[in-house]
Structure 1
Amino acid sequence: MHMIRWGILGAARIAEGELIPAIKQASNAELVAVASRDAAKGQAYAEKNGIGKVYSSYEDLLDSPDIDAVYIPLPNHLHAKWSIEAAKRGKHVLCEKPAALTADETRAMVEAANQHSVLWMEAFMYQFHPQWQRVGEIIDSGEIGDVKLIEAHFSFKLDRPGDIRWDPAKGGGSLYDVGSYAVHVCRALAGDEVPSQIEGAAVFKEDGMVDLTASAVMKFPNGIIAHLDSSFDVAGRQEVELAGSKGSLVISHAFRPDQGDAKLRITTSDGYREESVEQENMYRLQVEHFGNAVEQGLPLRNTPEQSIRNMEIIDAIYAAAGRKE
């Protein structure tokens, strides 16, 4: 088996806590290098995380012949620039969500990847957790009937005043940060269709650009209606509920089952039951999936086209909510 040689752009906390262990555990991956514009920070980060090579610029890492794929955990406003630069240098890209700040930026990223024959994927890791395979099985079994309504919630209390997610210039806002998950899951559960109607509302900071809380309702051509919300201003929750013609299904820790339990709650005319799904490292499964797509030509679970549609919806929600440009 060929090992995909990974590099990381930026000494980010999310990479340290999630993706670095995942790459090291993956059966088809090797962590080769990290790039940081702060040389001392990069060296300390590499030593702490057992990374053999440190580059003092992103360009140098991308130019290295020893790198096959890069993970981009940079601030949101830098996703497009460095995804495109990576593609130009022949590197496959796993990019943190949200893909970019607009659908137009996302289209440019996808075009660059296609032009240079590399893979690009937005990192919605939750979909690789086994609980979502089980959700699909329950839906396909017909136990809850035809899905009619979808509810998706993702929020947490962001109490750090200097956090980058408050910065409008860097893509701050709850819809970008956690609402993107809710948009993604609603679309996936509605059959990856494009909504025929989108309504949105949000509570913004004084700048009118960074949303503390956002909410949206989407109607899909197949008759499914989805409601989603995201927030930096309420206590943590990450629940998804499907209401069908015969019953309902609730995923209690939909996006971060590693922070709680992978428990499904099913209610039908036959009664109520709970199912627990065995925990697995969804980040590792994501890395292995991406590596298999690179090496074996297997289809991506989250395609670039899906990411474009996701960002089109986020654009539409912000427009409906009256965000300042």
Structure 2
Amino acid sequence: MKQVNWGIIGVGNVCEVKSAPAMYKTPNSSVISVMRRDAEKAKDYAKRHHIPEWTTNADEIINHPDINAVYIATPPKYHKAYALQVAEAGKACYIEKPMAITHQECVEITKAFKDKNLPLYIAYYRTCLPNFLKAKELIDNGTIGTLLNVQINLTKPLDVVDENYVKNNWRVDPKIAGDGYFYDLGSHQINILEFLIGDIEHVQGLAVNQSKINKSNDVVAANILFKNNVVGSCFWAFNNGISTRRDELIINGTKGNIKMTCFNDNPVVLTMADGSQQVFEINYPEHVQGPLIVSIVNDLINNTKKTYSTGKIGAKTNYWIEEISGLLSS
């Protein structure tokens, strides 16, 4: 492949800044056509982003003769059906996270691409962001010593709720998104933990719906044992009654620890056992999915397999978030 020509299914908010612009700004990469069910919104998006074609029919993206890679940016409910069509068409695919509604759907998607020897990537882009790469460097080079434990705390206020809340917020509809904000945000964190710490061996999860404003769990807790004997403790709450947010990732080792956030570019703080600190100010790129998209384009152009966030990795993440939420056995 000399040029990656993208077609995008579902040009909603994530495609405005986070992802799609990187596809047409990256060398040897362009966006040929975009799809959205609302014709006016599809046309408007194409005009504003200088995309030559637009459509309301996903089949026209998947079967377009000039498109060789498809980005599925719809809610998770639709990922499997579109992905299997892309595999049948013989094209590379990049899917928004989480990879699908269920782990079983992920298995089916992964198999379809493996059977045809086609590249499959999932939008767990934090594995390419510079702040997480700095944390991984400090871990891998032994700066904080032998890893001991890791903690995640993520809390946000309860959304403003009206009669159209669930209708207008697909992320809290289990039939469309899985299990609320935990699937939307927690999936990123479980994925980055395996990237930084290592493979997960076992989880114990607890998930409850306290507010009952929708059918998704809004408080989730997990104890995690990694294969390297590191222990993790994670807590998510999306129903706080006060307007404060907490976003904290702490990685403790025998020589020091790393403190950082998962969802913004606050500094990475390294604290050593003697109390000395280093603060790494690392800004996000303009398009947060950009570094991952560059990696994917390079793999497709050079026929290499250097990108971490593949279908296999995405399916693993789905497995663990389902284990934590209790949906895997329900």
Return the TM-score normalized by structure 2: 0.88
- Give the alignment partner of residue 253 of structure 2, picking from 244, 262, 268: 244
Q: Secondary structure at the match of 1:266?
A: strand
Q: Give the unaligned 5+ runs of structure 2.
A: none
1:179 correspondence with 2:186: yes
Deviation at 1:154, TM superposition (A): 3.8
Match of 1:34 in 2: 34
2: CA distance, partners of 1:254 / 1:298:
29
Q: Is the 8 A contact 1:249 1:265 kept in 2?
A: yes
Q: Supply the distance in 2 between the matched residues of 1:84 and 1:205 (Cα, whole angstroms).
A: 36
Distance 1:89 1:287, change over 3 A: same
Higher mean alpha-carbon deviation, 213-222 vs 71-80, is at 213-222
Specify the alignment match of 1:64 in structure 2: 64
Task: Please say if residues 28 and 288 of structure 1, whose CA atoms lie closer than 8 Å, have aligned partners that are also in contact.
Answer: no
Please give the secondary structure, in 2, of the residue aligned with 1:238. strand
Residue 276 in structure 1 maps to residue 285 in structure 2: no
Q: Which residue identity is paired with 1:249?
A: I
Deviation at 1:196, TM superposition (A): 2.8
Within-5 A mapping of 1:116-155: 116-155=116-155
**How far has the Cα of 1:62 moved from its partner?**
0.4
Q: 1:237 to 1:3 in 2, by over 3 A?
A: farther
Asked whether the 8 Å contact 1:183–1:228 carries over to 2, the reply is no
RMSD between aligned residues:
2.3
1:266 to 260, 263, 270: 270
- Answer with 213-222 or 225-234: which moved more: 225-234
Map 1:72-87 → 2, pairs under 5 A: 72-87=72-87
* Contact 2:5-2:32 within 8 A present in 1 as well: yes
* 2:262 aligned with 1:254: yes
Find the aligned partners of 1:288 and 1:37 in 2 and give their Cα distance. Answer: 28
**Identity over aligned pairs, percent:** 22
Contact 2:219-2:236 at 8 Å conserved across structures: yes
Deviation of residue 16 (structure 1)?
1.6
Q: Map Cα deviations across residues 204-249 of structure 1 (whole Å, 9 max, x no partner).
A: 5538840122221111232111122334324434321101111111
| Equivalent AA in structure 2 for residue 166 of structure 1 | V
Query: Equivalent residue of 1:17, what SS?
Result: coil
CA–CA distance in 2 between the matches of 1:229 and 1:80?
29
Question: Is the CA contact (8 Å cut-off) linking 1:179 and 1:229 kept in structure 2?
Answer: no
CA distance in 2, matches of 1:237, 1:66: 45
**SS of residue matched to 2:204:** strand
> 1:289 matched to which residue of 2?
295
Gaps of 5+ in 1: none
Normalised to the residue count of structure 1, the TM-score between the two structures is: 0.90
Deviation of 1:25 after TM superposition, in Å, equals 2.1
Deviations 1:21-67 (A, max 9, x none): 21122123101110122222211221122211012200111000111
1:204 touches 1:210 (CA, 8 Å); kept in 2?
Answer: no
In 2: Cα distance, 1:315 partner to 1:202 partner: 13
Distance 1:132 1:35 in 2: 32
* Paired residues of 2:203 and 2:222 also in contact (CA < 8 A): no
Q: Distance in 2 between the 1:88 and 1:236 partners?
A: 43
User: Which runs of structure 2 are paired with 1:201-240 in the superposition (5 Å)?
Assistant: 201-204=207-210, 206=212, 209-234=215-240, 235-240=244-249
- AA of the residue aligned to 2:258: L
